[in-house]
Each structure stands twice: as C-alpha cells, then as structure tokens.
Structure 1
Amino acid sequence: MRFILMFLFVFSFTLSNSVIAQSPQYSEKTSTPGYHVKKTKILVLATQHLRQLRDDYSPVLLDSLVSVLETYNPNIIGIEVESGTQFAAMEQRHRIYESRLGNDHLKYGKKAQEALNISWSKAHAVADSLLNNVQSTQEVEDSTRLELVNYLIASYRLYTAALQWSYISEEQRNNQSVIPKDTAELLELYINYPAANEILSIGHRLAHNLGHQRLYPIDYHLEKDLYNSVVSPTISEELASSTLQNASYLQKIDHLIEQGIKDSTLFPLYQFMNSPAYVKQDKKIQWRNTFLETEEFNKVLRQRLALWEVRNLGIAANIRKASAHKPGGRVLVIIGGSHKAFLDSYFKEMMGVEVVHLSDITKN
C-alpha cells in the first residue's frame, strides 16, 4: 500500500512538472500568466472647438495633425455629436430636449423621412443593413451609396451620410435625383470643409483618407433633462465670480491659436492640449476648484459637476460600445478638451483597454 502511495506521489509530481514546462510563459504585457491580451487602444484627442476661428480657419492649419493621426491608423473614429438613436429618444420628449433638437440632423432627416414615407425606426434599420453591406463589399456602386445616404439622413446620421457622399463620383453627385437639391448642397459644403468644425475638419477628413465607411457619434446629452430645469437658469450667476477665464493655461491656448494661424499650423496647440500639464490643470482649475472646492457649499455648482460627470460617463459608454466593433483595434475620439481628463481616467480602469496619447504616436 505504501509503495502504491509513493508511486502515485512521484507520478503526480512528474506530471505537474511536465504540465508546467509545457505551459505558455508569462507575458509582462498581461496580468495572467500564459495568456496574451491584445488590448484595444483608445486615443482621446482633446481639441478646441474650431468654430471660434471663423474666417481665420483653413484646412492647412490641420495638415500636420491629420498626417500624424494617419500614422495611428484608427479603425474607429468617434465624433462629438449625438447618435441618431439619441436624437430619436430626445424627439420623443421634445419639450424637455427642445434646445438640442434645432439642428441639421433633424431638419434634413425629417425631409428624408417624408420623401421616403418611412419612420425613423424603419429608416434606422434599413440604413444599418445597407451600411453593413457596404462595409463588407470591395466595390460599391454609386447608386447603392446614394440609397444609403438617403436612409442615413432619414435616421439622423448626417456625418456618416456626408462620408458616403464623398465617395460618390462628382459627376454622379451633380446629376443624381435621389437626394433633394438643398440637402445635396449641404453635403457638398460638409465634404469641402468650408467651416471651422473639428468633426469635419479632422474626423471626416481622416475617415475619408483612410477609406472608412462610417463615423461613430459618441456624445451624450440625455442628462440635459435635469440640467435644463435645475442648473441652466442660474449657472451663469453662480459662476460670475469665477476667475477661470484668467487661468494661465487657457491664456496659453489663445496664444497658441494666434501663433498657429500665423504659422499655418495648429499642431503645437494640439500638442499642448493633449499634454499631461494641460489635462491636470484643466481638471483641477476648471472642475475641482470651480465647482467642488468652494468656500461654501453651493448646490447649483455641485449639481453642474454631477451632471458633467454623468455626461462623461455616457460618452465613455458610447466609446466603449463603438470599440466592440473592432476588439483589439485602435479608437480615435475627437472631443472638446475638458472631457479628456475624465475619459482617460475611466478608460484606465477598463479591462482590455490601453489609453494612448498624441505624444505616444508622435514618438513612433
């Protein structure tokens, strides 16, 4: 009996050593021995809202930035606009979200729905089906893209519609009869970057250069039901004594914009806005000092801070959902600079995600 027990012990010890020897080795890139995790890279690109440039804007100002972003070669490009689904949800509660609904997405979307005699939900389903077909097809006929553009507009996805429009030959765009003239004129304006708009000037331009078939709306504004009723009416008065506008890091942004216009490049502006120094100062001065660490407890400012975090959590969820289309891929999100500190901190806590910064890709 003792011999049998000794034999079993030796056999089990030998077998366990054999298994250990044959097991994959631990990789420092993973947290679990023997498993390799290809993480999804997420680069949140902090941007100034370029509409402030107005007549000073030129596509040349962004040439260097777009060139660098092309080397990152994102699979997914997120833009700061609500999704068609979110617009439709807001539309159902029109009175509450009225301030968010007076835009081109709904204006031209409604016209397309009427022309097609279709509801938003049906247009959304058809657009998804057509978009999936286009994404899986090497050669796409102009007629197919025109049909897709029509349904994208009807489902409140104007920027992806503009991207599809940009792939249609100019001759076909000029001679088509599917898209109404005024809508076609708007799409032409979009694809030719006539205005200072980072969604078009960076997001659409990069997506077209890389041959993407869609842009991913990632913004979140459903917190505006509470914001509009309890915060918005008094927030300006509560912030009247704030010294935020005199903050040195914001003054530096103004200087970099002025210098960038003179030098015909805004790349130094983007380097600064995506640096640890800017992110740290913006979160501390604009949010912590202004809304949280006040001399006396201020209900309105605390409500504003809470709803700002709600919005950022919603944005983070939308980005993570978009990333599910390309697990292990590269995501680029173009968004106002004040969101970056919050989004980066959320993504650092997520499984299978690696936070990437602009400085990381300029080093490569």
Structure 2
Amino acid sequence: MRKTLTTVALSLGLAITGIAQAQVDLTTLDDRMAGPRAQVLVLGTVHLSEIPDGFDPATLEPVIDRLAAFKPDIITIETISGEGCDLMARHPTIYDPESLSRFCSKPEAAEAATGLDVPSAIAEVHRTLAEWPAQPTPAQRRHLAALFMAADDNASALTQWLQLEHVERHAGDGLDDALVALLDQLVTDSNEEYRIAARLAARLGLQRLFPIDDHTGDGIDVSDAELPAFAKAIRQAWDSAAAQKQPLRAREKELTGRGDMLELYRYINRPDIRAIQADGDHGAAMRDPSPRHYGQRYVAGWETRNLRMVANIRAAFRDHPGARVLSIVGASHKPWFDSLLGQMQGVDIVDAGEVLGASPARQID
C-alpha cells in the first residue's frame, strides 16, 4: 500500500508543521536571469458576436493598429484547440456532448476534403510548420489552411487565407469548394478571433494563432434535480451586486453604440473597472451563503479554467524566450491572466492601457 509523505513523516515522529508553513519566495528567482524577458499583453475583449446588429467592423481598425504597434510574435485566442475538443469528445461520460457542442465544431467537411482526422491533421500541421519557407507560395498557404481546418483550427486557417491575394483564394491544394465557402464566410464573421486576431496575425505575417481555452475542469458536479438551486444561488449572488455593475454596462453600451471601439477597449481594460466586475461576479459568488456552497464551487471551476488556460499560454511561448505575446480573451479573465502570468519566470506583464493609449483613471466613469 502506498503511503503519503505526511503519513511517513508522522510515523517517524517528524514535525511537519514547519514544512507546511514554509514558503519559497519565487519573485526574485529571475533577477539575474540570462537572456531576454517575455513581454505578455492580455487584452480583455467584449465578445463581438454578442453585439447587436448594426456593428461596423471598421471601427475596430484603431484597436488593431494599436495592437500591431505592439508587434506580437504569438497571439492566443479564447477558443478550445482541436486537440482539446478531440479529447473531450472521446470522453462523453465525463464531458456532456450537449455542452461540448457550444464550444467545439466537428470538422467533417475538412476531413472529407483532406482525408485527415483531427489527430492526423494536427501532426501534419506541426510537420508543415517545421519546414515552412520564408516565402511560401499561394499553393502552400492553401494547403496549410486546409490542414488547419481539418485540425479544427479555423482561426489559423483564416490567418493563412487573409495572406493570399484575392485571385489566389480559390479551391485546390486540399481546399474544396465547401471549405472555400466557409473561409469566405469567416472573413465576414464578427467573432473577435476572426475579426481582430486573424486579421492582426495576417497583417504581421504570422502563420497561426494559438487556441488556449479549456473547459475540462470547470464543470460543476450537480444533479439535474439540484441544478435549479445552483442556478438560483448564483443568480442571487450576481443580483446582489447589480447596482455596482450597472454603470459599467451602461458605459459599455454607450461606447459600443457610438462606434468608439478604441475607447471601449481602453475602458474595459482599466484595472479599476476590472476590479468592480470581478467583485460583482466572483466576489459576490464567494459571499453566497447557500448550504451546498454553490458560490465557492462556481469560483473554483472558474479558477481551474483560468489556470489551465494560462498553462496553455505559457506552453505557446515556452520555446520562445523573449517572445512578445498577445492574449485576446474575454475581459472577465484579464485579472486572473495578469496575476497568474505575472508569476511566471522571465515574464513581464505589459500595461494594456499604455498599448491602447489610455491614461490611468482616478474615478469610475
């Protein structure tokens, strides 16, 4: 029978209290590091697909211009990777297929066109990028776009598609008419991974985006019978903080309505605004008094998700010391991302306000 370290220590009469209390200060571990430091910018975003009809994508250009000036080498997006979706699909008793359908698509059309399932396509993407030339031909870009689509990574496929001249955006090299139609549809899609990230990556000559979302650890283990009580508790927690969040929503609506997207992004990335939102959501949940501790369980799932997402970001620039990294993510994640990434060795967190041209605010708008 295996014994834990604590059991062994107790059997030997060792004092473990000091061990439990001791902490190692890692904040100065990289003070004398050799080599360049990574620069990580976390851009909190609204979910553009949720903006009412009438939104003009051209209003995002000032935001994209500011991000381009940051010159990221790596861009991550709030999407589950093809590998992550494939993993979840293989465990339907653990991950509810109905919930999975909200986050993952089935690249059946791409598999039919390329003959590759998701794992095979991912392997082929890695091989192709390892041999990628400095000046790829249009045929190579079309082929890589097809591989990305088969790997369930449409945002990276669009990054390739946007770097083709319009006359070169046609079927061939793994792309059939159905995939071309899908890529043309993605060009006009309002989702931020297509409207901001893919366009920015294409402008900068990057070859791909890095999907880093993860929903493998944020499921709450409640029965169908218990679900209404859970939902009621969380809703009551949020309602208790509605007054403090209402001015934020009003300001966001005003800025969106007048098409001032640069000012909107400045606003939602302000630390004071993010602090109010975090307290009104997850802080309020932690104050939930329900006997089953629904609020704490909700926050635990949220934090697990953020930890795994940040781990995916770290992996994206693991082999690139000194990388300039842009992580585009729903604004509610930003405080967790900044805090967790800021604990990594050799990593500096870039002030989003400085990149967006905002000055520190002294009061809430």
- SS of aligned partner of 1:41: strand
C-alpha separation in 1, matches of 2:44 and 2:37 = 22
C-alpha separation in 1, matches of 2:221 and 2:151 = 26
Q: Once the two structures are superposed, what CA deviation does each residue of 1:144-188 show, in whole Å capped at 9, x if it has no partner?
A: 222222221111111111111222332232354732323211111
1:219 matched residue in structure 2: 213
Q: 1:229 to 1:213 in 2, by over 3 A?
A: farther
Using the TM superposition, name which of 297-306 and 94-103 deviates more.
Answer: 94-103
- SS of aligned partner of 2:105: helix
C-alpha separation in 1, matches of 2:350 and 2:221 = 32
Offset of 1:42 from its aligned partner?
Answer: 1.1
**Equivalent pair of 2:288/2:295 in contact (CA under 8 Å):** no
1:161 matched residue in structure 2: 157
**Does 1:269 pair with 2:285?**
no
Offset of 1:200 from its aligned partner?
Answer: 1.3
Q: 1:100 to 1:212 in 2, by over 3 A?
A: farther
Q: 1:331 to 1:32 in 2, by over 3 A?
A: closer
1:356 matched residue in structure 2: 350
**Does 1:338 pair with 2:332?**
yes
Q: Once the two structures are superposed, what CA deviation does each residue of 1:254-311 show, in whole Å capped at 9, x if it has no partner?
A: 333333432x3211211121111012212222111x2112345542222111111000
Offset of 1:63 from its aligned partner?
Answer: 1.6
Q: State the one-letter code of the partner of 1:44.
A: V
Gaps of 5+ in 2: 1-27, 359-365
Q: 1:118 to 1:241 in 2, by over 3 A?
A: closer
Using the TM superposition, name which of 321-330 and 84-93 deviates more.
Answer: 321-330
2:176 matched residue in structure 1: 180
Q: Percent identity?
A: 26
**1:285-324 equivalences in 2 (<5 Å):** 285-288=280-283, 290-295=284-289, 297-324=291-318
Using the TM superposition, name which of 233-242 and 273-282 deviates more.
Answer: 233-242
Question: Which of 147, 152, 159 matches 1:151?
Answer: 147
Q: Which has the larger radius of gyration?
A: 1
C-alpha separation in 2, matches of 1:162 and 1:238 = 41
Q: State the one-letter code of the partner of 2:318.
A: A
Offset of 1:142 from its aligned partner?
Answer: 1.7
**Equivalent pair of 2:145/2:160 in contact (CA under 8 Å):** yes
C-alpha separation in 2, matches of 1:82 and 1:104 = 7
**Equivalent pair of 2:44/2:268 in contact (CA under 8 Å):** yes
Normalized per residue, the structure richer in helix is 1
Q: Once the two structures are superposed, what CA deviation does each residue of 1:297-327 show, in whole Å capped at 9, x if it has no partner?
A: 5422221111110000001100111122421
Q: TM-score, normalised by structure 2?
A: 0.81
- SS of aligned partner of 1:156: coil
- SS of aligned partner of 1:45: strand
Offset of 1:100 from its aligned partner?
Answer: 4.5
Query: Across the two proteins, how many residue pairs are aligned to each other?
Result: 329
Q: 1:121 to 1:175 in 2, by over 3 A?
A: closer
**1:1-364 equivalences in 2 (<5 Å):** 36-95=34-93, 96-102=95-101, 106-107=105-106, 109-134=107-132, 137-174=133-170, 176=172, 178-191=174-187, 194-226=188-220, 234-242=229-237, 243=239, 246-262=242-258, 264-288=259-283, 290-295=284-289, 297-362=291-356
- RMSD of the TM alignment (CA)? 2.7
Offset of 1:58 from its aligned partner?
Answer: 1.4
Q: 1:314 to 1:33 in 2, by over 3 A?
A: closer
Using the TM superposition, name which of 203-212 and 354-363 deviates more.
Answer: 354-363
C-alpha separation in 2, matches of 1:238 and 1:304 = 10
Q: 1:292 to 1:245 in 2, by over 3 A?
A: closer
C-alpha separation in 2, matches of 1:46 and 1:352 = 22
2:16 matched residue in structure 1: none
Q: 1:35 to 1:140 in 2, by over 3 A?
A: closer
Using the TM superposition, name which of 226-235 and 266-275 deviates more.
Answer: 226-235
